[in-house]
Amino acid sequence: MAIPHNVGGTDKAARLMAGLALPAYALLSRKRPLLRGIAGAAGLVALATGLSGYCPLNGVLGIDTSRRKAVPGSLV
């Protein structure tokens, strides 16, 4: 069974950039351990959703930024 896609275009590019930048910050920064942990975790989630093209939160909210057919009941 294929994973549905609901992330595309600019949204996907932004997630991939954040997915690379946030973990890099977390690894290279020497200040604020809590902020580093949050940035690292958020970056990994962004990277995973950017690479897979699917975001569970977008699915729940009915948001589809891919160029595929619209999700019924979409908020956007």
Q: What is the pLDDT of residues 42-69, one digit of tens each?
A: 999 999 999 999 999 999 999 999 976 5
Q: Look up the pTM and report it.
A: 0.80
Question: Alpha carbon 45 to chain centroid distance?
Answer: 6
Mean pLDDT of the chain: 89
**Beta carbons of 65 and 7 less than 8 angstroms apart:** yes
Q: Is residue 25 predicted with pLDDT exceeding 90?
A: yes
Q: Is residue 18 predicted with pLDDT exceeding 90?
A: yes
CA distance 39 to 21: 9
31 confidence band (pLDDT: 50, 70, 90): confident
Beta strand extents in the chain (DSSP E only): none
- Domain residue extents for the chain: 1-76
Place of tokens 């977390």: 26
Q: Is residue 41 predicted with pLDDT exceeding 80?
A: yes
Tell me the two tokens of residue 5.
């896609």
